[in-house]
Every structure is written in C-alpha cells, then in structure tokens.
C-alpha cells in the first residue's frame, strides 16, 4: 500500500484554468504538507496543516489554497494558473514535531 499517494502524476493545462491535486496518506499522521519543487530542484514549503492549524508560507500566492476534508487528505487547489506555476508539487506527511517526512511521488504540473 502506498503511504502517501498523489493524483494525478502528470497535469498539463492552459493558463487561466483552475486545477486540483489530490493527496491521501494512510499512515495516520497528524500533519500534512505541500511542497513545490522548481526546475532547479529547490524544494519550497507552501503549506502545513493539521486538524488544528493551517500555516501558509507568506510567499505563496492566494491563488493556491489547501483543502482538507479529513485528517488523511490534503488537496491543493490552484486558481487562474500561470506559466510560473509549472513545477513538481509534492505532498508529504509526518506524525508532527521533528519526525521525518514521508513524501508522495509528486505531481508534475505543466502550464502552457
């Protein structure tokens, strides 16, 4: 069983569209995250979320919004997609605190 699963694996879409990426974890972890990895492989945290608190990195445009229907899911919704949004988006989870993160396999988003 995949611990952290993301769908879709690849997403190609036009500028201006709205899209969502889904993430599910079956590890029972309390905290989930979204990271963006650009073409230079720099991993930038976008959000962290548990059932108590959402932390948004201040540099993330408000076109990006996390949605968590329950503790095992943290979806990423993106409005009005721009060319610069093209990247690989990783979902991750952890038990919280200073434990290591378990990453999903990533979603490669290409905006044309």
Where along the sequence are the contacts to another protein (CB under 8 A)? Answer: 31, 33, 35, 41-45, 48, 50, 55, 57, 90, 92, 96-106
Nearest one of 67, 64, 74 to 30, comparing CA atoms: 74
Minimum distance, C-beta of residue 28 to another protein, in the bound complex (Å): 17
Residue 43 CA to residue 30 CA, distance in Å, equals 21
Residue 105 to residue 32: CA distance in whole angstroms: 14
Minimum CB separation from another protein for residue 49, in Å? 10
Residue 50 backbone phi and psi in degrees, to 5: -130, -175
Q: What is the smallest separation between the CB atom of 35 and another protein, expressed in angstroms?
A: 8
Q: Which is nearer to another protein, 15 or 55 (CB)?
A: 55
């Amino acid at each position: 069983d995949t611990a952290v699963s993301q769908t879709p694996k690849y997403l190609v879409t036009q500028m201006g569209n709205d899209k969502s990426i889904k993430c599910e974890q079956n590890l029972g972890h309390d905290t989930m995250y979204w990271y963006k990895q650009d073409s230079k492989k720099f991993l930038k945290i976008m959000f962290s979320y548990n059932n108590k608190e959402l932390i948004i990195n201040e540099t993330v445009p408000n076109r990006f919004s996390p949605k968590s229907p329950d503790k095992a899911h943290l979806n990423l919704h993106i409005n009005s997609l721009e060319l610069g949004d093209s990247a690989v988006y990783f979902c991750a989870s952890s038990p919280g605190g200073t434990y290591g993160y378990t990453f999903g396999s990533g979603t490669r988003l290409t905006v044309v």
